[in-house]
Amino acid sequence: MIEAEINGIPVSVPEGTTILNAAKEVGVQIPKLCYHSDLDAWAACGICVVKVEGSPKMLRACATAIAPGMKVLTHDPEVVEVRRTVLELILSTHPNDCLQCGRSGNCELQTLAADFGIREIPFEKRVEHIEPDTSTTSIVLNPEKCIKCGRCVLVCQEMQGVYALEFIGRGDGTRLAPAADVNLEESPCIKCGQCSAHCPVGAIYEKDETKIVWDEIKKHEKHCVVQVAPAVRVAIGEAFDMEPGELATGQLYAALRRLGFDAVFDTNFSADLTILEEGTEFVKRFTEGGELPQLTSCCPAWTDYMEKFATDFIPNFSSAKSPQQMLGAMAKTYYAEKADIEARDMFVVSIMPCTAKKFEVGRDDNMNSTGFQDVDVALTTRELARMIKQAGIDFKSLPDEEADSLLGTYTGAGTLFGVTGGVMEAALRSAYYLITKEDLADVNFMECRGLEGVKEAEIDIKGTKVRIAIAHQMGNIEAVLNRVREAKANNEETPWHFIEVMACRGGCIGGGGQPHGATDEVRLKRTQGIYADDEKSVQRCSHHNPEITRIYEDFLGEPCSHKAHELLHTDYIE
């Protein structure tokens, strides 16, 4: 341990701890802009400067490790003045249209400018006008607002391994742009939205589609159906001063009804349905022989990645559509039939923690169940939070309500989809049943849990050994794929039979459309919320969901039937 002093307060921290993090330990907040705990510090902005006794110059707290006996001073008039100048310089090249900015109210630059009481900018104002890039269906790039902190570039390149973003030009002319200066749609971008989740200002944000939804609800011409994804329920509360991880399922249903939706369903229901389809597909491949490993297909950023960079894995992909798409398909066929509504008179909205889901609603074009999109609009958690605020709904004090029947009941397995390892855990619970015709005594698969980038295990299903791998955060995936490729090239047995992939760190709870401010601490709390939801569920295995049993009896026949294939499965583009 390193013993040192911060503002005269003794501090004891492990070797390698930065001054910034050591200060946090003793309750001292050092302002930061370019630094984010997910990323390596690269000391670009200079706002975190501190004084260290004996050092002739100020040091950057984010990138300097605290040393034994170090005496750090984090705040004095001189330090504050340097920080103010850094802010003034940034603001001299930043547009002033805060009121129209998507980040107004939770912009890190705006907060710092307010904290430092900046009233005038003593530098020449030089804002270069750059048109926003609206080429993708998911996110908008507004380089004019960029403060060149570099977080998005580091996230895209190092965390996600995608290299869609970079800085172009030099010196004053430096600007944020998609790689090779094409537009974002033409770049390798997989629409995960992690850049938007890490951007401290309004330079990258989700494509806002709330107006389309408001208009449709207001017109009252169509039956408006909504579904809520697993991970939304443990994060939306953060937009209303609730703790990360606080379960808000009942309040969410209530808020959606108050917004004017005619039917409120749950993506957790169709996550259970996915397990029966994808689980049956896996058991077939595993027992009857088929392309292994099977790869999960529910994360649209991962699917996009595969179609761009790993088409050799197309035969390995589960053909099951994602739960979002499955719910849309079931709403426009099964529910439509029961409610006596034509698919064309139905408008399906989904609330997702994810920006790539906006892209997914259009990707199954050739495989739609009814001739219309399965899902019409996907909104992110952030967009829904804004709608709730616009409607003046006091979210925290809403009573708990239930989802509507037919597509609203879920098991603990369905809710697990929101975390890394959750799809695998849910699949194993039902695969065990499908293989042995018996239920597990203990449904918890602890091997699937935790934030480790790649988790591996061998699961013993009454003597049958199933080797699994779980990867999250896109940059961790290539190594897994390469091991499979290597085994194939050497004619060896596949290292794993079943692989779950989620593009975002922590799985969907860490999705690119979730409320801003996710760190591992927040991700862990959201994850605990998901596990708590699973534990309190009466049924914890998808095959015990009574609405799922009914949908097969009444409508689909059996898992992977011809009808199920028509409605719930898709194909991939080479």
Which of ligand HC0, ligand SF4, none does 194 bind, CB closer than 5 to 8 A by kind? ligand SF4
| Residue 31 buriedness (CB in 10 A; 0-12 / 13-18 / 19+) | buried
Q: Are 469 and 482 in contact (CB under 8 A)?
A: no
**HSE-CB of 7 using CA atoms within 13 angstroms:** 15
CB of 271 to ligand HC0, least distance (A): 4
- Which CB, 249 or 274, lies closer to ligand HC0? 274
Which of ligand SF4, ligand HC0, none does 165 bind, CB closer than 5 to 8 A by kind? ligand SF4
Site for ligand SF4, rule CB under 6 A: 139, 155-156, 160, 162, 164-165, 189-195
Which of ligand HC0, ligand SF4, none does 354 bind, CB closer than 5 to 8 A by kind? ligand HC0
Q: Does 229 bind ligand HC0 (CB under 6 A)?
A: yes
Q: Does 569 bind ligand HC0 (CB under 6 A)?
A: no
Alpha-carbon distance values, 512 to 87, 99, 354, 382, 509 (Å) = 27, 23, 5, 10, 9
Closest of 152, 137, 148 to residue 196, by C-alpha: 152
Which of ligand SF4, ligand HC0, none does 191 bind, CB closer than 5 to 8 A by kind? ligand SF4
CB of 179 to ligand SF4, least distance (A): 9
- Position among 31, 279, 328, 353 found at the interface with ligand HC0 (CB under 6 A): 353
Closest of 282, 232, 281, 247 to residue 467, by C-alpha: 282
- Position among 418, 421, 512, 559 found at the interface with ligand HC0 (CB under 6 A): 418
CA dihedral 542, 546, 551, 556 (to 10 degrees): 50
Within positions 508 to 537, which residues make up the interface with ligand HC0, using CB under 6 A? 508, 511
Which of ligand HC0, ligand SF4, none does 102 bind, CB closer than 5 to 8 A by kind? none
CB of 425 to ligand HC0, least distance (A): 12
Q: Are 59 and 221 in contact (CB under 8 A)?
A: no
Which of ligand HC0, ligand SF4, none does 231 bind, CB closer than 5 to 8 A by kind? ligand HC0
Q: Where does this chain touch ligand HC0 (CB under 6 A) — which range of 18-26, 177-185, 204-212, 225-233?
A: 225-233
- Position among 31, 188, 279, 323 found at the interface with ligand HC0 (CB under 6 A): 323
- Which CB, 155 or 419, lies closer to ligand SF4? 155
Residue number closest to ligand HC0, CB atom: 508
DSSP conformational letter for 313: G
- Which CB, 236 or 443, lies closer to ligand HC0? 236
Give the interface size with ligand HC0 as a residue count (CB under 6 A). 22
- Which CB, 108 or 500, lies closer to ligand HC0? 500
Q: Are 569 and 561 in contact (CB under 8 A)?
A: no
- Which CB, 62 or 189, lies closer to ligand HC0? 189
Q: Does 271 bind ligand HC0 (CB under 6 A)?
A: yes
Helix or strand holding residue 280 (H, E) = helix 267-288
CA dihedral 299, 305, 306, 311 (to 10 degrees): 160
Alpha-carbon distance values, 233 to 227, 265, 310, 326, 529 (Å) = 12, 13, 32, 19, 9
CA–CA gap between residue 254 and residue 239 (Å, rounded): 16
Helix or strand holding residue 178 (H, E) = strand 175-178
CB of 199 to ligand SF4, least distance (A): 9
CA–CA gap between residue 515 and residue 197 (Å, rounded): 8
Structure tokens at 43: 């000391």
Q: Does 324 bind ligand HC0 (CB under 6 A)?
A: yes
Please name every residue paired with 105 in a beta bridge, in sequence order, or none if there are none: none
- Which CB, 341 or 508, lies closer to ligand HC0? 508
Residues in touch with ligand HC0 (CB under 6 A): 229-231, 267, 271, 274, 298-299, 322-324, 352-354, 357, 417-418, 423, 502, 507-508, 511
